[in-house]
Amino acid sequence: MSSVVLFVVSFILGLSWIAEGYRDRKNYVTSVEEKMNLLDKDRELILVLDSYATELNDKIIMLKRIVKEFKQPLEKAKNRDEEYLSNPINSLSLLRQMHEDWEPVEKLLKQPVGQEKIALIEKMREDLPVEYDLMEANQAMYRILHTYDLEPKDVSAGLIDGVQYRGKMSASDCFTMGTFSFKAGSYQLASKWLSVAKDLLVDQPRKYHEVMGVTKADVTLLLARSLIASGNVSNATDILMRDSMFGEAGSALTLHFLRNTPKPSINLESWESDESFNQLCRSSSKRQMGESKPSRLHCRYNTTTTPFLRLAPFRMEELSLDPYVVFYHNVLSDPEIEKLKPMSKPFLERAKVFRVEKGSDEIAPSRSADGAWLPHQDTDPSDLEVLNRIGRRIEDLTGLNTRSGSQMQFLKYGFGGHFVPHYDYFNSKTSYLERVGDRIATVLFYLNNVDHGGATAFPKLNLVVPTQKGSALFWHNLDRKSYDYDTRTFHGACPLISGTKLVMTRWIYELDQMFLIPAVLPPRRRNFSKSLLNPF
């Protein structure tokens, strides 16, 4: 059964366009729950369509039965019309049938079929994904291919980054990806997708694709344009001239495409990651499949951060000493994690990115996940004890004060979910930051194991950290001696290939540490001259 188009994909026409589109829409791309609901709707739609087809078939069966009855007298009269009509019974039957029987036949033909089913489908379509949902799905698939350096031919057959998944992409799926890649200016990638689509068209009846809106001519023309745009003119001409629909006109089409160079209509620069980040994501993916093991600088038990750790130390791996990056094992228990999931579910919404220049949060293609702030104002009081206990544990792990910014951000990543490399500090001046200072450190909890993708990568440190349920990654964003911004903490979330990724982040602010970690050197990269119109 082919489900409603989900696993194919998406582009973004601009940040304001995305924010406007998602204001009142369901989050079909990043939300697993909405995709589950969509799958149920797909099943229901198919049942309705099947019921409609049954009603049509019943009408066809009745019409064929009438045709059979009407043909019987004609078979008797075949090659002996005059003799047949000389029989008074046949004459009467002919006159009666021509006068009486064709009126009910006409009424049967005009009788509407499946109107209730058509109305139900129209109603259900109001709540189905719209264009920008599909575009963002296209973007997610494009991101996976770009980051993990995959081939469309393999992906279309279900082979993704060395893992064979069940299910394959259709010709329509591949054509959608080819169209997206073409609009994004990735003409070589578009050519590969469209070549696969062209091959898949052979496996299904032509009439089916014509009804669905994807024809061989559509694919061939866009494939030729993509090849010409990528410099492969001779191959494009050959494809056009060998197609029976174009033939000798292929040369003229080639000339037309050469004179009308396509211009990309999708800007990918806002969310594309550099190659060093992509390489780290690829290396982490290989580790997940057991090809190699991550290297660690030093492994030991932390018993010194707070007195409590002398009784209950945490196992830690020091991944980097400068800047300080530490990985803690078994920080959260399974019961605690199971508490956090339902606690956050009612408040999940599309995660946003803070724009320093605007002083506000907004949905952006650089980040695709659902998020919830905990505790929420509507959090059940019985859940606060779990959050408070985790808060105290953060102080034990880090040795830092956490009076400010007590909320933690629960994040749920779905299909292609990612966060492009960024800094956790703001380097800006707002009323809130004037009270608490910038983010001196980050604690990132991993709430589940991810089978494929989703690692945390630090390209400037050549460091990548796969997810591990119950663990926590801790690092300093500011230099502990000067409170200067440490640009080496540039990091991002690798695109998720399959499943769901659950994390929770707690940021720690610098002014809480004023008497705990006094500065001994003046900062060189701090900029307090910036001011924003609206505090956050």
- What are 249-308's pLDDT values in tens digits? 989 999 999 999 999 998 886 666 789 999 999 998 766 655 444 455 678 888 888 888
Judgement on whether residues 372 and 495 belong to the same structural domain of the protein: yes
Residue type, 90: N
Show the beta-strand stretches assigned E in 416-519: 418-422, 439-446, 452-453, 456-458, 463-465, 472-476, 491-493, 496-498, 501-509
Q: What is the pLDDT of residue 66?
A: 95
Inside any domain, residue 4: no
Inside any domain, residue 401: yes
Q: Residues near 187 by Cβ (< 8 Å), separated by ≥ 6?
A: 181, 226, 227, 229, 230, 262
Report pLDDT digits (tens) over 54-74: 999 999 999 999 999 999 999
Judgement on whether residues 106 and 190 belong to the same structural domain of the protein: no
Q: pTM for the full model?
A: 0.85
Inside any domain, residue 245: yes
Inside any domain, residue 42: no
Tokens of 326: 């530490």
Is the distance from CB of 39 to CB of 167 less than 8 angstroms? no
Judgement on whether residues 466 and 326 belong to the same structural domain of the protein: yes
Inside any domain, residue 270: no
Spell out the per-residue pLDDT of the chain, length 536, in tens: 443 333 333 322 333 333 444 445 677 888 888 889 999 999 999 999 999 999 999 999 999 999 999 999 999 999 899 998 999 998 999 999 999 999 999 999 999 999 999 999 999 999 899 998 999 999 999 999 999 999 999 999 999 999 999 989 999 999 999 999 999 999 999 999 999 999 999 877 778 888 888 899 999 999 999 999 999 999 999 999 999 889 889 899 999 999 999 999 988 866 667 899 999 999 987 666 554 444 556 788 888 888 888 888 889 999 999 999 999 999 999 999 999 999 999 999 999 887 777 777 888 888 999 999 999 999 999 899 999 999 999 999 999 999 998 899 999 999 999 999 999 998 887 888 889 999 999 999 999 999 899 999 999 999 999 999 999 999 999 998 899 999 999 999 999 999 999 999 999 999 999 889 888 888 777 765 544 444 44
Number of domains in the chain: 3
Q: What is the CATH number of the domain that holds 453?
A: 2.60.120.620
Judgement on whether residues 373 and 467 belong to the same structural domain of the protein: yes
Tokens of 405: 């910014």
Judgement on whether residues 435 and 471 belong to the same structural domain of the protein: yes
Domain of 369, in residue numbers? 275-286+295-513
Inside any domain, residue 343: yes
Judgement on whether residues 407 and 429 belong to the same structural domain of the protein: yes
